[in-house]
Chain A
Amino acid sequence: MATKRELAALRKHKSQQTLRKLTDLAEKVVAQAQRLENPSVEIPVRALSNVRFNKKKQIIEMGDRTQSRTLFNVNMAKRFAQTFLVAKACKELLDAGKTTSIRDLYYMTKHTIGRTSENTFDDQAESDPIIEDLEVAVDTLREELHLFASNRGSMVGELTLVDAGDTIDARRQGSGGWAVPSIVEDEVIQFKKCDAKFVLLVEKDAVWRRLNEDKFWRKHKCILIQSQGQPARGVRRLVRRMTDELNLPLYVLVDNDPWGLYIYSVIKQGSINLAYESVRMAVPKARFLGLSSYDRERYDLPDDSTIMLNSKDVSRAKQMMKYPWFAERKWQRELKKMLDSKVKLEIEALSRKGITFISEEYLPRKIEERDWLV
């Protein structure tokens, strides 16, 4: 384990590297303008067209295609300036050694331009993608820019860890659990004592509360994390570190609908938008515990516990079937079965079989029977 001083030195080194990247980007613009070239920033394209599924590594990787964002183009001038406004704000943060939320950054960079009524950013939805652009443009991570998103996800279980110097015993976090921060790099979070045998990530807060109340994690010696829908970067990076450093298997429990399946898919092999993060966030060995399209029959769930697929669900499922990372037969079967039955199944539907059915029957049986997909 690194000492506090070593950690501080590491942080400083990292932030100086990032600063360097930002100033280099700025100097390049100045040099281009001096040569009367149109200043440009090359931004890797974050779209389906520019990701590829690395079958060997089982992760989604970003392609080489970049888009030039140029200053002297009426359609791009604003976004060009915005990119540097964000870079400027990040430099301030790095210089001060502070981190801030992306919401805060929106306010740091938001002001009216000149004597016009135009804003640099109209809302956060406009500044968030610019931050991602900057990340990929200078090949850095959001954390390295000293930015974080709002905390999302909470955790309990058989683990002791250190968060920003404070020791956290995840066994004693009450009913709410420990909130997973946005930045969980090793200079912030260090793992201490681990008695867990696996990590269970559930999509839903309500289900997580049930399991916590039943002290499922104590009984089955595990770490219980909820992601509240699509997991935030902090949660993804944390489960990755736990699988890597603590050598624990990761189980994922999601709704049986296209969106649930895709949550699992993002944890397993990464997302299109953050394909450049897959390398350090994806958990290719993550195990899909459920709910499977076949669970309804296998666990004899009543028909009226299902919900009809709507048209959005159907089109999303069809779209997903075409993704290369869903090409394997088992996933095609899952999706096909879902489409054929025309229904989806939420995790809560298990409660129809009794309030503790999930913690006492479903999960133990699944794990025991190794009834999962990878």
Chain B
Amino acid sequence: MSAVDRPAGPDGTSRRPPGRKKAGSTPRKKRSAERLARGQRDISVSEFFVKNRHLLGFDSPARALLTTVKEAVDNALDACEEAGILPTLLVEIEQRSEDRYVVALQDNGPGIVVGQVPKIFGKLLYGSKFHALKQSRGQQGIGISAAGMYGQITTGKPVRITSRTKPEHPAHYLEVIINTKKNAPEVIRDTEVDWEEPHGTRVEIELQGNYKSGKHSVDEYLEQTALANPHAEIFYYPPKGRKDVVYPRLTDELPAEPARIKPHPYGVELGILMKMLKDSKARHITTALREDFSRVTPKVADEICKVAGLSPKARPTTIANREAESLFKAIQKVKIRNPSTDCIVPIGEELIRKGLEREIENASFYSVRTRPPRVYRGNPFQVEVGLAYGGQLTGLLDHGDITDGGAWVGGVRLNPTKKVEMALTAISGITRKKAVALLLKAGIDRATKTGMLTPHQVGLLRDVLDAEVRSETATRSIQLVRLANRVPLQYQQSACAIHKAVCEVNWRRYQVSQPRGGLPQGPLVLVVHIASVWVPFTSESKEAIAHYSEIIDEIKRCVMDCGRELGSYLSRRKRHKAQAERRSKFDLYCGELVEALHDLTGRRRAELKKILDSAADHYAEVSDEV
């Protein structure tokens, strides 16, 4: 490896490759991505990579691990869906040394033809979806090969691929490295191997990383991916010391394949418009408008030309800059029908609910809502919201069995050789200080070897942990799960339109506490999914959705639909609680009264009880003030 290939420290600078302009509004990003794609071949790919690792999601070892899994999973899901196969994914993370991990991702997809393997896994920016206006997971071809390159830079190890396309064909095992100077893949090994899978692909990347749990973790990402892809089945084998997780398939139906649509004139920016005119094969401008855009009828095309002061017969390719600009302005002035919205495939209310019910068993309330599709700037999009409240969310960690190997507490196997105060810190959110405080509360000597804890002590420990979590959730911000085209968004939450919309909703109206202008608080999980042919991200790392008012308003409406249901559930619960309290109080004193009235009137106790009971029923429901 040359010096350049070695990973530099955190990049920090925001230098961009030549030819890239600062990303402003969305469609321009598209242009810059194209230029990037074309221009990038001339410079050292690894230099580009090192300088832009933060944009690509490799800026820290922990994030690098997550990004690698993410790219591999996205790839696998896309491959399966395109082939019409219900995805079954195996995600394995194995720790090799302190900071070295092997990520293995295996799918049951169509497999890859041997000749294509190096290109897919060893070449940056291969394969292009730039022109497709179609709801897709939307990677820009930078993903899996970038992960492979990151692995190669940090560990020197090749990407290892096993793939088989048909049961009757042999499986191939390949090791691919990227020649960073040429941005070209080199296959350093290619053998036929025995493989039990009839078809599918397995990718293994060794990389420098850091596994952690909690926020921004692989665990969280896979959980949310399972939620967003109820048709997928995911087996997750985390590093040693964590429990294996299986996400079963919730539906045997693949989501409908989203239709490709032509761009709508409203959603096209000037630069794109000029490029499209230049590339057009039509002879007349009106024809070009009609053929390359959706919803442009001959009448609309004529009107656009008229408003722009252009001849309908003008040649698209010869329209100069200034004319293109007046054409662009004319488009905004002419009324054009919204694009068809059947190109959007939502997850659907039923499956979001099922996913939530699986992820958050025993919540006390669920609400889901899929709004009808809408359009922003000519781009159809659709918002869905799922909400789970209370029950399990109010606390209670996931505990496992106590075995010879140790005890599972809070989803973690406590290391039996460590002191309990240290072992507890393996649970996310538990610091050493907190662990000491909790042990004091449980009445357990903090220096006890974890292996020496009695089952009773483990029980006490679980109780104090649960109580801790319970009290903490009441004042903790809700868990917001952001999904864009079935991909969970992990970072930059507060920069995201979804976050902004959720904060702008007045949650107190729904009996949920909320600090001014912030996320609501309490035992609540809120899932927001935006499906669109073009999700406007704020940057290439695709972690936050841009603040378009149409999108924010629609998210708010959808969140409020669910919020209203939650509010009426909570006030109903409050009312019932008050009613039950009132009733039990009445019962208490009616019992005394029955005795007294029995003595005073000589009537039978049962008779008096019946009379008072029915009156109590009546009055428990009406308020005291009446």
Contact = CB atoms under 8 A, between A and B. Distances in A.
B599 A120 contact: no
Given A29-B597, A30-B601, A74-B624, 16 more contacts: A25-B600, A26-B597, A29-B593, A34-B615, A36-B614, A37-B615, A38-B615, A71-B612, A71-B615, A74-B582, A74-B585, A81-B592, A81-B593, A87-B596, A113-B589, A113-B591
B188 interface: no
A84 B601 contact: no
A39 B596 CA distance: 14
A72 B616 contact: yes
B591 A22 contact: no
A71 B589 contact: yes
Central interface residue in A25, A26, A37, by most chain B CB within 10 Å: A26
Given A33-B612, A80-B593, A72 B600 contact: no
A17 to B, nearest CB: 15
Contacts of A34: 611, 615
A76 to B, nearest CB: 9
Contacts of A37: 615
Nearest to A77: B589
Contacts of B582: 74
Central interface residue in A78, A81, A120, by most chain B CB within 10 Å: A81
A26 B596 contact: yes
A88 interface: yes
Interface in B538-587: 581-582, 585-586
B335 to A, nearest CB: 63
Chain B interface helix/strand/loop/mixed: helix
B600 A23 contact: yes
Contacts of B600: 22-23, 25-26, 84, 87-88, 91
A340 interface: no
A33 B611 contact: yes
B588 A26 contact: no
A72 B615 contact: yes
Given A81-B592, A87-B600, A33 B615 contact: yes
Contact of B588 (A36, A38, A113): A113
Given A72-B586, A77-B585, A85 B596 contact: yes
B589 A80 contact: yes
A36 B601 contact: no
B599 A91 contact: yes
Contacts of B595: 88
A72 B593 contact: no
Interface string A4-31: 0000000000000000001101110110
Given A22-B600, A39-B615, A30 B588 contact: no
Central interface residue in B581, B586, B599, B620, by most chain A CB within 10 Å: B599
Contacts of B624: 72-75
A117 to B, nearest CB: 12
Q: Which size class do B's interface residues fall under?
A: 20 to 34
A116 interface: yes
B605 to A, nearest CB: 12
B619 interface: yes
Contacts of A36: 614-615, 618
A81 B596 contact: yes
Central interface residue in A72, A91, A114, by most chain B CB within 10 Å: A72
B608 A30 contact: yes
Nearest to A84: B596
Contacts of A73: 624
A72 B588 contact: no
A245 interface: no
A136 to B, nearest CB: 18
A166 interface: no
Nearest 8 interchain pairs by C-beta: A72-B619, A26-B600, A84-B596, A81-B589, A88-B596, A33-B615, A81-B592, A77-B589
Contacts of A78: 589
A92 interface: yes
Contact of A114 (B588, B597, B603, B608): B588
A101 B590 CA distance: 27
B620 to A, nearest CB: 8
B586 A77 contact: yes
Interface of A: 22-23, 25-27, 29-30, 33-34, 36-39, 71-75, 77-78, 80-81, 84-85, 87-88, 91-92, 113-114, 116, 118, 120
Contacts of B592: 81, 84-85, 113, 120
Central interface residue in A25, A30, A38, by most chain B CB within 10 Å: A30
Contact of A30 (B585, B591, B611): B611
Contacts of A85: 592, 596
Contacts of A26: 596-597, 600-601
Contacts of A87: 596, 600
Nearest to B619: A72
A50 B618 CA distance: 33
A116 B608 contact: no
B565 to A, nearest CB: 30
B586 A116 contact: no
A30 B597 contact: yes
A71 B597 CA distance: 13
Contacts of B588: 77, 113-114, 116, 118
A96 B582 CA distance: 37
A113 B591 CA distance: 8
A84 B600 CA distance: 9
Given A39-B615, A72-B615, A114 B591 contact: yes
Contacts of B585: 74, 77
Interface string B380-408: 00000000000000000000000000000
Contacts of B586: 71-72, 74, 77
30 contacts: A22-B600, A26-B596, A26-B601, A27-B601, A30-B608, A30-B611, A36-B614, A36-B618, A38-B615, A38-B619, A71-B590, A72-B586, A72-B620, A74-B585, A75-B624, A77-B586, A77-B588, A80-B589, A80-B593, A81-B592, A81-B596, A84-B596, A84-B597, A85-B596, A91-B600, A92-B599, A113-B589, A114-B588, A114-B591, A120-B592
Nearest to B598: A88
B623 to A, nearest CB: 10
A54 B130 CA distance: 100
A280 to B, nearest CB: 27
A73 B626 CA distance: 10
Contacts of A81: 589-590, 592-593, 596
Nearest to B592: A81
Contacts of B591: 113-114
A77 B611 CA distance: 16
A372 B600 CA distance: 51
A75 B581 CA distance: 12
Nearest to A79: B589
Contacts of B581: 74
A118 B592 CA distance: 12
A84 B598 CA distance: 11
A363 B581 CA distance: 64
Contacts of A120: 592
Central interface residue in B595, B601, B614, by most chain A CB within 10 Å: B601
A113 B589 CA distance: 8
Contacts of A25: 600
Contacts of B618: 36, 72
A137 to B, nearest CB: 13
Nearest to B587: A114
Contacts of A118: 588
Nearest to A34: B611
A30 B603 contact: yes
